[in-house]
Amino acid sequence: MKPEISNPTMKDVAREAGVALGTVSKVVNGIPVGESYRIRVENAINKLGYQVNSYAQGLRADKTHTVVFLIPNTAEPFYASLTYHVNLVLLRQGYRMLLCCTDYDSDLEQEYIAMAQQNKVDGIIGLTYNPDLSVHKNTPFVSIDRCMGSGIPCVASDNFAGGQLAAEKLADFGCKNVAFLCKSSSISNEPNKRKAGFENGCLARGLHCEMKIVGDNEPYDTFEQFLADHAPSGKMSLDGIFCVTDGLAYFILKMLRRLGLDIPRDIQLIGYDGIRFFGDADYLCSTIVQPVPDIAELCVRLLLDKTIREKPSLLCLPVTYAYGGTTREDAPNSQLY
Amino acid sequence: MKPEISNPTMKDVAREAGVALGTVSKVVNGIPVGESYRIRVENAINKLGYQVNSYAQGLRADKTHTVVFLIPNTAEPFYASLTYHVNLVLLRQGYRMLLCCTDYDSDLEQEYIAMAQQNKVDGIIGLTYNPDLSVHKNTPFVSIDRCMGSGIPCVASDNFAGGQLAAEKLADFGCKNVAFLCKSSSISNEPNKRKAGFENGCLARGLHCEMKIVGDNEPYDTFEQFLADHAPSGKMSLDGIFCVTDGLAYFILKMLRRLGLDIPRDIQLIGYDGIRFFGDADYLCSTIVQPVPDIAELCVRLLLDKTIREKPSLLCLPVTYAYGGTTREDAPNSQLY
């Protein structure tokens, strides 16, 4: 069935859906309404082929319905997933996303922010490791994974709790001697709290814990040496590893296999992020899962919802543990499987 | 050093760089100039803190310096890489990218195109499987991987040559009985040519070839059954497999391992795309590599370069083979290792 009305208006949508005009307006502008109302309005919009004239909307409201999204790249799986989910949330609410991959270039980042401000965008959502980034206070900004100072809320997974959970899981699965492996930026950021959480969890559960923190520009070989040093005669003295990201875990798994070790029999491993390749049902490794769709929703809500007056400086979303083949379900202390 | 000039103009930049005003204009507008000139101008722009007012530029030129990028999602690695590279090329040329993930929703796609046209964007680059997509002929459009009819150039890797190359490599590495595995969309598209190229290569090299084409909505189990049927008593009758994508290869590798097979000893495998995880030096599997940065460059050039009058309807970029651990370097007929 093709739509019968040639240029349907919001009124036509309201009539078709059997709801008040204000309800249609709310749905179109992304303001929450009851689920059943939203569905009726969306069905009516689809049936009639109603098009929001967001350009005109922008002119009326001195808004462009455009949000800049700053991200180092979209090639790394966590960034790729974050970009995808933020994009879907924005588009669903009638906003456009200007994507700016920064490639970790601080000057480029600053340039994109200047561009955003010149173009009167409605706001910026950014994951940036630029400590000197300057954002005009009139431009709403929501930061992911790094606190950037007053007036800029930061959204992150609960990194401390995630580190703690990793320690608890390794303890549950029978580990005694564990290590935390990390590639770390010197710039203060939320993911750095994974270390403190893990230490805390190890202490609480009586695990012996070593730390191997490697600078951002140091090669992965440093980890390979660390692991080899712990397996001098082919026998590994560590029985559990927590990697700061699934990306690092990917490389550590390869190194452990090169040392002739069986995972999870000889050594168990937990990563962080919750990466799955190609929409696979299986995780890359046992992992602490970041709630990426929730992070995306929250960033957009904080940026665009004008009814939120007092914006918290840090908002942490809960993480979960997921089995991904690199931990032992049959471990003696395992209570959860 | 802070810039000395409070509101530097293009003239100030030219004076600082010691070049003609026209040279600055070219650099700012992304028109090629000599490398040394470009660097001088860029240094001067950085030193003075000159900001291009692209909004005003847009008004003057009836251009918004904005390009819509339509892609199913950014979560799948090939799409993620494509998005990243197209984004970098656009930003480098002073263009903004409006990212629109379509989630394979044809209605959404059409809506984003309507939005693009309402907002006077400079053009659209899209990877879309919507057979009925209608694009107004005044809006420049460059398609990736699918020919969409007259006036719309399509950019793709050389899929036919890639399929052929996969067959040649499997023959070089000693295979005799091979299979082509494919998840396939019914909509005509360039990647479908991988099959014909592979068949052709098998014929030329005397390989016995089976085809297993599975519809987009059928489960992966169909492949698992196909593989099990070829290894009734644990011995695999196939010695080589070409998968239509690295994504499919990822699942096929898992299935082969579940059947107790060693790869590449018992069976060799080649994928297509050239996926590497987490910037790893190693490919996920031996693979036909798509030249993603070149695809990105070419799409942007075709879209924005007004000096190209006759736009070819299909532009195929050359592919290469890369070793990724799932083929046998020591195979008797291998000439290249």
How far apart are alpha carbons A99 and B104 in whole angstroms?
20
- Cα four-point dihedral sign A248, A251, A257, A258: negative
- Does the structure show a pLDDT above 80 at A56? no
Rounded average pLDDT over A244-249:
96
Higher pLDDT among residues A219 and B319, named by residue: B319
List of chain A residues whose C-beta atoms are within 8 Å of the C-beta of residue B250: 277-278, 280
When mean pLDDT is compared over A223-227, B183-187, B231-235, B329-333, the highest value belongs to A223-227
- CA-nearest residue of chain A to B111? A51
> Which pair of tokens denotes residue A165?
């959970």
Interchain proximity A77–B278, CB inside 8 Å? yes
How far apart are alpha carbons A271 and A286 in whole angstroms?
6
The type of residue at B146 is: R
Higher pLDDT among residues B22 and B2, named by residue: B22
Chosen for mutation from A62, A73, A121, A243 (greatest number of chain B CBs closer than 10 Å) is: A73
Banded pLDDT at B310 (limits 50, 70, 90)? confident
Which pLDDT score, from 0 to 100, does residue B5 have? Answer: 60
A 10 A CB-CB count for A178 gives 26
Query: What is the gyration radius of the CA atoms in chain A, in angstroms?
Result: 24
Which pLDDT score, from 0 to 100, does residue B333 have? Answer: 52
Interchain proximity A97–B98, CB inside 8 Å? yes
How far apart are alpha carbons B31 and B11 in whole angstroms?
18
List of chain A residues whose C-beta atoms are within 8 Å of the C-beta of residue B112: 91
List of chain A residues whose C-beta atoms are within 8 Å of the C-beta of residue B67: none
As a residue count, chain B comes to 337
Which B residues, 255 through 284, put their C-beta within 8 Å of a C-beta on chain A? 277-280
List of chain A residues whose C-beta atoms are within 8 Å of the C-beta of residue B98: 66, 96-99
Banded pLDDT at B337 (limits 50, 70, 90)? very low
A 10 A CB-CB count for B102 gives 24
Which pLDDT score, from 0 to 100, does residue A62 have? Answer: 57
Beta-ladder partners of B214 = B183
Cis peptide before A219 (omega within 30 of 0): no
Query: Does any CB of chain A come closer than 8 Å to the CB of residue B173?
Result: no
Beta-ladder partners of A241 = A179, A269
Rounded average pLDDT over A161-176:
97
**Which of B76, B97, B280 has its CB closest to that of A98?**
B97
List of chain B residues whose C-beta atoms are within 8 Å of the C-beta of residue A46: 107
Banded pLDDT at A263 (limits 50, 70, 90)? very high
- Does the structure show a pLDDT above 50 at A322? yes
DSSP collapsed to 3 states, B112-175: HHHHHHHCCCCEEEECCCCCCCCCCCCCCEEEECCCCCCCCCEEEECHHHHHHHHHHHHHHCCC
Is the ipTM of this structure higher than 0.85?
Answer: no
Banded pLDDT at A53 (limits 50, 70, 90)? low
Are A328 and A268 in contact, with CB atoms under 8 Å apart?
Answer: yes
Residue where the block lists tokens 């390009």 = B67
Are A221 and A202 in contact, with CB atoms under 8 Å apart?
Answer: no
Sheet containing strand B208-215, edge to edge, reads B208-215, B177-184, B240-243, B268-273, B287-289, B320-322
- Does the structure show a pLDDT above 60 at B12? yes
Tell me the nearest-neighbour CA distance from B245 into chain A, angstroms. 11
Query: Does any CB of chain A come closer than 8 Å to the CB of residue B337?
Result: no
Which pLDDT score, from 0 to 100, does residue B37 have? Answer: 87
- CA-nearest residue of chain B to A67? B98
Average pLDDT of chain B is 88
End-to-end C-alpha distance for chain B, whole angstroms: 54
List of chain B residues whose C-beta atoms are within 8 Å of the C-beta of residue A107: 46
> Which pair of tokens denotes residue A237?
């003295």
Q: Sort strands A96-101 and B96-101 into parallel, antiparallel or unpaired.
A: antiparallel
Interchain proximity B101–A119, CB inside 8 Å? no
**Chain segment A180-226, per-residue pLDDT in tens:** 999 987 788 899 999 999 999 999 999 999 999 998 888 889 999 99
Query: Taking the C-alpha atoms of A149, A152, A158 and A163 in order, what is their torsion angle to the nearest 10 degrees?
Result: -30
**Which of A54, A81, A88 has its CB closest to that of B115?**
A54
How far apart are alpha carbons B243 and B179 in whole angstroms?
8
Using CA atoms, how far residue A119 sits from A87, A91, A167, B60, B215, in Å, is: 19, 19, 47, 15, 45
**Chain segment B214-270, per-residue pLDDT in tens:** 988 888 899 999 999 999 888 999 999 999 999 999 999 999 999 999 999 999 999
Rounded average pLDDT over A260-284:
94
Tell me the nearest-neighbour CA distance from B91 into chain A, angstroms. 7
**Which positions ≥6 away from B198 have C-beta within 8 Å?**
B163, B164, B166, B167, B180, B209, B242
Are B261 and B228 in contact, with CB atoms under 8 Å apart?
Answer: no
Interchain proximity A118–B91, CB inside 8 Å? no
Rounded average pLDDT over A283-311:
91
Are A275 and A287 in contact, with CB atoms under 8 Å apart?
Answer: yes
Rounded average pLDDT over A304-314:
82
Tell me the nearest-neighbour CA distance from B47 into chain A, angstroms. 12
Q: Which helix (H) or strand (E) holds B177?
A: strand B177-184
Interchain proximity A55–B118, CB inside 8 Å? yes
Which pLDDT score, from 0 to 100, does residue A71 have? Answer: 96
Query: Taking the C-alpha atoms of B117, B121, B124 and B130 in order, what is their torsion angle to the nearest 10 degrees?
Result: -20
Q: Which helix (H) or strand (E) holds B180?
A: strand B177-184
Average pLDDT of chain A is 88
Are B276 and B251 in contact, with CB atoms under 8 Å apart?
Answer: no
List of chain B residues whose C-beta atoms are within 8 Å of the C-beta of residue A91: 100-101, 108, 112
Are A304 and A93 in contact, with CB atoms under 8 Å apart?
Answer: yes
Residue from B76, B78, B130, B121 nearest B304 by CA: B121
Residue from B263, B255, B271 nearest B222 by CA: B255
The type of residue at A14 is: A
Residue from B280, B180, B277 nearest A280 by CA: B277
List of chain B residues whose C-beta atoms are within 8 Å of the C-beta of residue A59: none
Question: Lowest-confidence range among A187-201, B45-59, B116-130?
Answer: B45-59
Sheet containing strand B123-126, edge to edge, reads A314-317, A154-157, A141-144, A123-126, A66-71, A96-101, B96-101, B66-71, B123-126, B141-144, B154-157, B314-317
How far apart are alpha carbons A51 and B114 in whole angstroms?
9
Tell me the nearest-neighbour CA distance from B207 into chain A, angstroms. 30
**Which positions ≥6 away from A244 have C-beta within 8 Å?**
A180, A181, A182, A183, A184, A191, A194, A195, A272
- Does the structure show a pLDDT above 90 at A32? no
Which pLDDT score, from 0 to 100, does residue B188 have? Answer: 84
How far apart are alpha carbons B8 and B31 in whole angstroms?
21
- Does the structure show a pLDDT above 70 at B6? no
User: How many residue pairs from chains A and B have C-beta atoms closer than 8 A?
Assistant: 112
Interchain proximity B75–A101, CB inside 8 Å? no
